[in-house]
Structures are given as structure tokens and as C-alpha cells.
Structure 1
Amino acid sequence: MILIGFMGVGKTTAGQKLSEITQKEFIDLDVYIENKHQKISDIFKNYGESVFRKYEYDALKECLDVDILSTGGGIVEYEPSLNLLKESTQLVIYIDAPFEEIYKRIKNDSSRPNALRSYEELQDLYEKRRPLYKSIADITIRNETTVDELIHKLLIVE
């Protein structure tokens, strides 16, 4: 199962809890990249987004067969990663949430390089990525309530 969606929709939290419940392996791709390289914010600052996307692609290739994989929100921005997800035999689940809710969760989060953008820039990014997520998702789950409700929905589709 591969969890995709915009930053702040609950991919990592849901993946961790689902892993605890099912006793299946979970990897957060951003954590994997940080363990292999350095903090994502430092990669962006020191090398730029293009280098980060290449690291992300390499990590995705290495982790594609993990039971539960949570991806970064921008993974769909890099065409090789997008294609790898499209071709994957894993169940790709797009977790969506209302932008207002996402914005409340991520604003001023310095650990997310893109979260420091203005409200309008983030909303544009959200709208730009939504069709990309939908184009590769096997299932879309709307996360408008609690993490427990999201976990319940994920357990049903698993």
C-alpha cells in the first residue's frame, strides 16, 4: 500500500498507526531519505529541489515493495517518480483533505520546505497536484475527520 497526497493530509500518521495495528512494515519515504542523506530542508537549501526529487525517486525504487509506504507530497512533481507509481503493482491510495484543514496543519512548519509559502502559493500547489494524485491513485480517501476514522477507511480497503 502506497499512501500519496498533499503535505499534512495524514499520510505518515495513518501509515504508522496502520503498521501498529496490522504488524506490517511501514516506511515514511521522507524519513528514509533523511536517514540516507540529510534533513530534507537542508537538501532543499544546499542542493535545490531537483536534487531532492532525484533522491526521492531513488528511495521510491528501493522501497516500492514495502507493505505500507508513505510518500512526500511532491513526489508527483517528478515524472520518473510519477511513472514508477503508475506502474507499481502496489495499491496506491490518495488521501485528500480540504485545503483549509491542510493549511491549518502545515502553516509555519519549518520542517516542510514548501509549507513556508504564502496561503495563495500553497493553494495553487494543492490544486496543481490534485489531478496528478488522482491520475495514479487506485483509491481516493477523503480525510475530513479524525485519524481513527482515516485508519478505519484504510483497513477496509486493505
Structure 2
Amino acid sequence: MPGNRPIVLIGPMAVGKSAIGHELAKLLDVPFVDTDNMIVDAHGSIASIFAGRGEHAFREIEARTVASAVEHAEGAASVISLGGGAVLDSGTQQLLGRCTVVYLECDEETVASRIARNSGRPLLAGDAMARWSALFITRKPVYERLANLVVDVRQGSVSELGHRLEVALRDYAAAKQEVEN
């Protein structure tokens, strides 16, 4: 794997960062951290944070949570899943330079059924797919810029995608090692 650096999964909401990240962590036998779950455990539901305190307050909590997760994981292999908008924070972007960042690439069709089943996403109120598409269009360049590795997750089960990601990370680590030698 890419040294003793945390592996951070980024991408739009509903792409499968949590499920695939959990699977990857099992395959690699390393800890898994989901920053959205950390926020919920410490502050209550994300929807209630948005409703009661607003998006700006949520983003501040999110940035602190990501920083804590990355700093806690430094120097050891681990898998960290970030919320879809976490990458918008400039401090988070800087922290990700100390990690191996994997962008889980998808499209609307990949996430449509997941979004239809989960109405608890505050940024998707109203026409969920139109809102998802608008967010994705603005965030995609950030995902691409920050990523050390891009993995297409349009097809495959969580298990298959975890294995595909493991292979991609091993190939990335080998190529990086070759360049360094």
C-alpha cells in the first residue's frame, strides 16, 4: 500500500464511499473511519445540524472532524471516508496532501436509486437528482484535482469494488515506489 499514509475516499454523496471504504479496510486489515458517522455521533444527525445551525456551521464541524480523523490516522495505514462536500474546505484540501486520495468516480445513473431511497440528505431537498447533478458539476473538478487515484465505481458489487480499489492502490503504490527508486 502507499506507505503509512491514510487512504481517503472522496466523491459525491451516495457514490458508496462508506460501503466501499469499509470493504477496503477489511481487505487491508486496517481501521476504517467515516467522518459523517463521527459527526453524527458527536453532534446529532446531519439534517438536524443543517436545520438548526445551517450549512456553514455544519461545514465548520466537518472540517474539524476531517482534520481530527486525518491527524489521528497519520503514520499508520487506515481508510477514511469523507462526506461529499468535505473537499470544499481549503484546510481539508491541504490536509489531504498528507494522504493517498482516491476519487470514487460515478454518474447520475449510479446514484439515482440510492438517492431515491435516502431522503435524509439536506442538500438534496426538493428535486434530489437535479440538486445532486448541480452539486456534482461544481465539485467534480475539485475531486479530480485532489485525487492521486481515480476508480470508476459505476459497475460492480461492494465486494468487487473493494477488491478493484485494493488492486488499484497496490498498482499505484508499486508505480510510486518505482519512480522513487
| Same fold flag (TM > 0.5) | yes
In the alignment, does 2:147 pair up with 1:137?
yes
CA drift at 1:22:
2.3
Deviates more, 1:106-115 or 1:64-73: 106-115
- The partner residue of 2:165 within 146, 154, 157 is 154
Query: Which has more radius of gyration?
Result: 2
Q: TM-score, normalised by structure 1?
A: 0.91
Q: Which amino acid aligns with 1:106?
A: I
**Distance of 2:113 and 2:61 partners within structure 1:** 28
SS in 2 for 1:125: helix
Instruction: Please tell me the root mean square deviation across aligned C-alpha atoms, in Å.
Output: 1.5
Q: Is the 8 A contact 1:28 1:71 kept in 2?
A: yes
Which one of the candidate residues 79, 89, 102 is aligned to 2:111? 102
Bigger Cα displacement from structure 2, 76-85 vs 33-42: 76-85
Question: Which of 60-69 and 3-12 deviates more?
Answer: 60-69
**Aligned residues between the structures:** 156
Distance in structure 2 (CA, Å) of the matches to 1:154 and 1:130:
19
| Superimposed CA distance per residue, residues 83-140 of structure 1 (whole angstroms, 9 cap, x where no aligned partner) | 332x3x2100000112122122113523321233423222111111100101101001
TM-score, length-normalised on structure 2?
0.80
Residue number in structure 2 paired with 1:71: 82
Confirm or deny: 8 A CA contact 1:109 1:115 kept in the other structure: no
CA distance in 1, matches of 2:162, 2:117: 26
Distance 1:44 1:15 in 2: 25
**Alpha-carbon offset, residue 57 of structure 1:** 0.6
What residue is the counterpart of 1:114 in the other structure? Answer: 123
Q: How far apart in 1 are the matches of 2:148 and 2:126?
A: 30
Q: Which amino acid aligns with 1:111?
A: G
- Distance in 1 of aligned mates of 2:160 and 2:117: 26
Amino acid at match of 2:29: Q
2: CA distance, partners of 1:45 / 1:75: 18
Contact 1:3/1:11 (<8 A) preserved: yes
- Listed one character per residue, the Cα deviations across residues 34-56 of structure 1 (whole Å, up to 9, x for unaligned) are 11111111100000011111001
Residue 40 (1) aligns with residue 34 (2): no
Q: Which runs of 5+ in 2 are unaligned?
A: 1-6, 171-181
State the alpha-carbon separation in 1 of the partners of residues 29 and 152 from structure 2: 24
